[in-house]
Amino acid sequence: MNFLNKDITSIHQSLVNGDITVEQLTKEAIENSKNNEKNINAFITIDEENAIKRAQEIDKRGINPDNLLSGIPVAMKDNMLTKDVLTSAGSKMLSNFKPIISGTAVNKMLDADTVSIGKTNMDEFAMGSSTETSYYGKTHNPWNLDKVPGGSSGGSAASVAAGDVLAALGSDTGGSIRQPAAFNGIVGMKPTYGRVSRWGLIAFASSFDQIGPLTNNVYDNALVLNHIAGHDEHDLTSSDKEVPDFTSNIDSGVKGMKIGLPKEYLGEGVSDDVREAIKSAADKYREMGADVEEVSLPHSKYGVTAYYIIAPSEASSNLQRFDGIRYGYRSENAKNLDQLYVKSRSEGFGDEVKRRIMLGTYSLSAGFFDAYFKKAAEVRTLITKDFQNVFQNYDLILTPTAPTPAFGLDENKDPLTMYMNDVLTIPVNMAGLPGMSLPAGFSDGLPIGMQLIGKPFDETTMYKAAYAFEKNTDFHKQTPKIGGDK
Amino acid sequence: MSEKISKNTVSHVASLAKLELTDKQLPYFTDQLGNIMGIFDSLNEVDTTDVEPTFSVTDQINVMREDIADNWGERDQLLQNAPDVADGLIRTPTIIDESGD
């Protein structure tokens, strides 16, 4: 069985009715995923044994008719700690690492009785926009196997798009949930910073990182966020704000909603097809009764630059812990302790990770701190203030998710060109805002994503607007050819 | 600061970060890092006079908890991830090796 065009509610109904057991569902999901792996490579680990054991346990207890997630097959990005299951973060450095605990978001998915069938492929330590920097091979886009799935949560997005699972968790530091969601024609939510605990998420840039769901549709996405959101005493940056039911009143429409369309996000570098799709989306919102007006976010254009100073700085600090001593890869060529550090890191990290560690080390080094790191942090304030100004008069902001649809595998883009791919998503992380991507069109058979940006902790309004758009369009109903006929 | 970064600087930065670059990697990374840093100067266009820097976007400040020691009792499991263990301790190479560099 594949889950193309399926939704959690209908699969849940089959489980409640007894049309299928959780064990059968899990086995079929694993079989379908294994078939797809030859073409897609969405997973680093398919955890067949644990998944089936878990499914049997849930069957024994019985499906809870009030819990839509009970028995639903899901997948986790490989930078989220999973007890006793390889957690590599896409790196050779952690190619032998089996955590002794699971992270909070993973635990909450387990508490909700979902069945995780495996760990998904990703750019090494989540550093990349194409999943090409993984130590475990590249992931292919289910819509066109010669294209990238985006990144860094490329495996999570591809696993949902290919119908392997009904939901996957990803993480987003500069666009790593939203851009792959866009490239794969699915729904991806990066919640407000602090909405979901980061405990047990292998840190990349701690002031940006946030976990969120990738799903086939908007309702399923809200459902998963319901379960993973909330305060966690283990993550001091997690918010103690109340978590609303994101699915309640999701169908209340957009009448009277005020949506800002920032002109800077439709300019140079954005492809014609993408621009047209976003303009059509704006018209669709007007048709549905929302007010859509042009707004300005003048400092967003400095987002990429400020990000590539701040995020690598945080990363260079976070990744100091990988030293070959307590866990992870240890070089066999070291004769003394210093060599052990240097050789383990030099052999264990890939090029992109080294680039970012060096960028960060440079930006933080004496003599450059004020000129680079502090300056970038000040620009970050201005980017945030732009959003605050717009949100005084608007409920939501509408932009493209990425400047283009999925680009080709092995195009060997230089790093700077690759970094520019996140120009439309990075400002959202800079300001800690919630941002989501949902299907908004096609270009040469490849999906186009649109981004909705909300006020802090107002994912509810985003889901309502996304739900209304989805209900009045059919982009999300189209599925890739891979994995069977539509 | 608009000058492109030199090989010497990249070498120095790599050693600060406990990374070593081969003779082939050094020009490759120097070139790439130079290109990336080439865009850094664009931030000088932005007037940030009297603008406070943002280092964190959370509103949770100084979250306190009681300082209570808690033994998770998971030493053995933790050590299973260590590359080299002897007598319940993690083993490393000699810290000072006169014959090394």
Query: Which chain B residues have a beta carbon less than 8 Å from that of A430?
Result: 54
Answer whether A354 sits within 8 Å of B5, measured CB to CB.
no
pLDDT value of position A483: 42
Contact yes or no for A170/A393 (Cβ under 8 A) = no
Q: State the Cα torsion B82-B85-B90-B91 to the nearest 10°.
A: -120
Model confidence at A481, in pLDDT bands (50, 70, 90)? confident
Computed over every residue of chain A, the mean pLDDT equals: 96
pLDDT value of position A268: 87
Model confidence at A468, in pLDDT bands (50, 70, 90)? very high
From the list A239, A326, A337, which residue is nearest B60 (CB)?
A: A239
pLDDT value of position A413: 80
Q: A128-142, A286-300, A358-372: which has the minimum mean pLDDT? A: A358-372
Answer whether A336 sits within 8 Å of B96, measured CB to CB.
yes
**pLDDT tens-place string over residues A180-191:** 999 999 999 999
Answer whether A361 sits within 8 Å of B59, measured CB to CB.
no
Model confidence at A317, in pLDDT bands (50, 70, 90)? very high
**pLDDT tens-place string over residues A253-286:** 999 999 999 999 999 899 999 999 999 999 999 9
What's the rounded mean pLDDT across residues A423-440? Answer: 98
Answer whether B39 sits within 8 Å of A308, measured CB to CB.
yes
Name residues 68-97 of chain B within 8 A of A (Cβ).
Answer: 74, 77-78, 80-84, 90, 92-97
Answer whether A416 sits within 8 Å of B93, measured CB to CB.
no
Q: Kindly identify which residue of chain B lies nearest to residue A310, measuring between CA atoms.
A: B55
Q: Kindly identify which residue of chain A lies nearest to residue B53, measuring between CA atoms.
A: A378
pLDDT value of position A380: 98
ipTM over 0.95: no
Decide if A152 is catalytic.
yes
pLDDT value of position B97: 59
Among A344, A358, A386, which would you mutate to test the B interface (most chain B Cβ atoms within 10 Å of its Cβ)? A358
- B59 against A192, higher pLDDT: A192
**pLDDT tens-place string over residues A57-97:** 999 999 999 999 999 999 999 999 999 999 999 999 999 99
Q: What percentage of chain A carries pLDDT values higher than 70?
A: 99
Model confidence at A5, in pLDDT bands (50, 70, 90)? confident
Answer whether B81 sits within 8 Å of A100, measured CB to CB.
yes
Average pLDDT along chain B, 101 residues, taken 10 residues at a time: 80 97 96 93 95 90 85 90 94 72 49
Catalogue all structural domains in chain A, each as residue range(s) with its CATH number.
Answer: 8-258 (3.90.1300.10)
pLDDT value of position B3: 59
- Per-residue pLDDT for A417 more than 90? no
Q: A42-51, A280-289, A407-416, B4-13: which has the minimum mean pLDDT? A: A407-416
From the list B18, B46, B84, which residue is nearest A341 (CB)?
A: B18
Helices (H), A140-206: 154-161, 178-183
pLDDT value of position A486: 36
Peptide bond preceding A152 in cis form (omega within 30 of 0): yes
**pLDDT tens-place string over residues A358-369:** 999 999 988 889
CA torsion sign for A272, A275, A281, A284 is negative
Decide if A171 is catalytic.
no
Helices A8-17 and A218-228, packing angle to 10 deg: 80
pLDDT value of position A108: 98
- Per-residue pLDDT for A485 more than 90? no
**DSSP designation for B67:** -
* Dist CA A291 CA A459 (whole Å): 19
**pLDDT tens-place string over residues A209-255:** 999 999 999 999 999 999 999 999 999 999 999 999 999 999 999 99
Contact yes or no for A449/A182 (Cβ under 8 A) = yes
